[in-house]
Amino acid sequence: MSYLSNLGKMIAAVRRRCSRSVYSDLGVSTYVARLGDSLECRLNSKRGNASPGWRNCSKGLRDGCIGRASSMKTRGFATSDSEDVGPVSMSDVRRPDGEEVGSDPVETTSPVYSQADAEEVCALLLGSEDWDSAREALEKCSVNFTSALVVEVIHRCKFRGGAALRFFDWVGKRDGYGHSSEAYNMAMKIAGGAKDFECMRSLFYEMRRKGCSITPDTWTIMIMQYGRTGLTVIALGIFEEMKASGCEPSGSTYKYLIISLCGSKGRKVDEAVKLFREMMKSKHVPDKELVEIYLGCLCESCKLSDARKCVNFLREVGFSTALSYSLYIRALCRAGNLKEALKLLDNAGAERETLNKYVYGSIVSGLLRKGNLEAALSKVDEMKQAGVSPSVHVYTSLAVHYLKKKEIGKAEEVLEMMKPEGCEPTVVTYSAFIRGYMVAGKVGDAWSVFNRMKSDGPSPDFRTYSMFMDSLCKIGRSEEAMGLISEMLGDKIVPSSINFQTVFHGLNREGKHDLARLVWQQKLDLAKQRKSVT
């Protein structure tokens, strides 16, 4: 019996355990903690965040840029305003046949459709009060439905997953039309993204039954959607069935499975190490995102031997020495192992001067987390004398340090120093000030920063909203937090179950039970919109 055929029983068992939770209506997704709520925040396409649907399969299927070792070119070394090591340009990485690496599988279909048709169908779907009226309107329209049009429509309607999947089911039954693999993949992304795993599996079975091509991307979507919620045992099982079916895992398959295994929920470090080695033997080259997450997991788990092996591999496949060691040193600093990071830097030999320029921000941040302000400032002065200006990462770390000490004035001085130095504050910078003001009881100042982000940018992301909600509820201002849920939805950021839970309990604590019920109903309505309800 195939692994997928057992998934229904496994999910049912988890749901029985979830029935003890007030959030059981969301099933598995509320029992297991989410792997990186940042993925949810990437639904914010309006304000420039990446979407986990159309443009990429959790960021990287389009720009993850996982290549083959045989076609790798030596990487350069770049700086970044927000981090010590800038993004590595891998746009020139190609497969031996010339196909560009990292393209989204959904984008392989030529856009053979009219934009006017796409807009008309989306308007019918999103403008109707219920599915029956939407279906009636669709049956009357004269649009010629092609696979490319269907993919575009469900992409645009992904925020209303229920409507998108009903449309997918309806159009699939029309005479003369048949779904493509790309359309099935997109529908599976939407169903899995809404944690409707039963629907996702059903689409997979239907796809196979109708003879559509089951590609590595199809398997990767299922692996990714289970893995991102912490269901890594299921994700691993699907990976094994993928290989048993004769389908060779792609670089993206390895990437998203390893990222899932390195997550805080469902973490399985030994399995991640095993798969990374398998990935290397298959001559797939990891991108910078995967390397950062993998090294971070190894350093947090004190598996420094495996981390060093990873660094050596990166150098073998074309990563510069400076980049490889910079990623490792940053991971050590984030894991709190500052001693090992400094030791590695001291032993860098001829590379030390170059390396120092790109990792000093992480060193400064590590020193500040240890409470060693004097050493951190000394490091900043040292780098200034070497002609290296502080990055936004360094300034933000200093501001966070002062905010934690409730030295608001000094933190504001740091903020004022940034722009003359050519450093634009980031979402992380402003979010730190919102948190700091809230801790200091300066709620008005926190709102001022938030409103400035909304009007002038950078726009608040999922983490900013979540942190601000939590802070407001802790001080008895849950009604203001309730308003943030509506703002999130307006910005096309999907609130998590934890967001709703925080506001719901906050309102109840404050005796605002009617408002709490409204929040709960809002949560149920959102879940219904995102799922395919039969």
Q: What digits encode the pLDDT tens for the residues 200-217?
A: 999 999 999 999 999 999
The predicted structure's pLDDT at residue 351: 77
Question: Hey, what are 413's tokens?
Answer: 């001085």
> Looking at residue 254, what is its pLDDT?
97
Q: What is the pLDDT of residue 111?
A: 54
pLDDT in tens, 151-199: 999 999 888 888 899 999 999 999 989 999 999 999 999 999 989 999 9
Encoded amino acid at 385, one letter? Q
Secondary-structure percent of the chain, ordered helix, strand, coil, rounded to 5 = 65, 0, 35
Q: Are 462 and 44 in contact (CB under 8 A)?
A: yes
Q: What is the per-residue pLDDT for 531? A: 65
Separation CA 178–CA 482 (nearest Å): 44
Task: Give me the torsion for CA of 385, 391, 396, 397, rounded to 10°.
Answer: -50
Looking at residue 240, its pLDDT comes to 97
Element (H, E) at 526: helix 513-530
CB 65 within 8 A of CB 102: yes
Which pair of tokens denotes residue 21?
């939770």
Whole-angstrom distance, CA of residue 97 vs CA of residue 89: 20
* Distant-in-sequence, close-in-space partners of 99: CB < 8 Å, separation ≥ 6: none
pLDDT along the chain (534 residues), means of 10: 46 38 31 32 35 35 38 33 37 30 42 83 88 91 92 90 92 92 95 93 95 95 95 97 96 97 94 96 93 96 95 90 90 93 84 80 91 92 86 93 95 91 92 97 97 94 97 97 94 92 96 95 83 50
Task: Write out pLDDT tens, residues 14-29.
Answer: 333 333 332 223 333 3
Q: What angle do CA 143, 148, 151 make, to 5 degrees?
A: 100
Report the Cα 423 to chain-centroid distance in Å.
Answer: 25
Task: For residue 94, list its beta bridge partners.
Answer: 100
pLDDT score recorded for residue 54: 34
The set of residues, in sequence order, having a beta carbon less than 8 Å from that of 305 and lying 6+ positions away, is: none
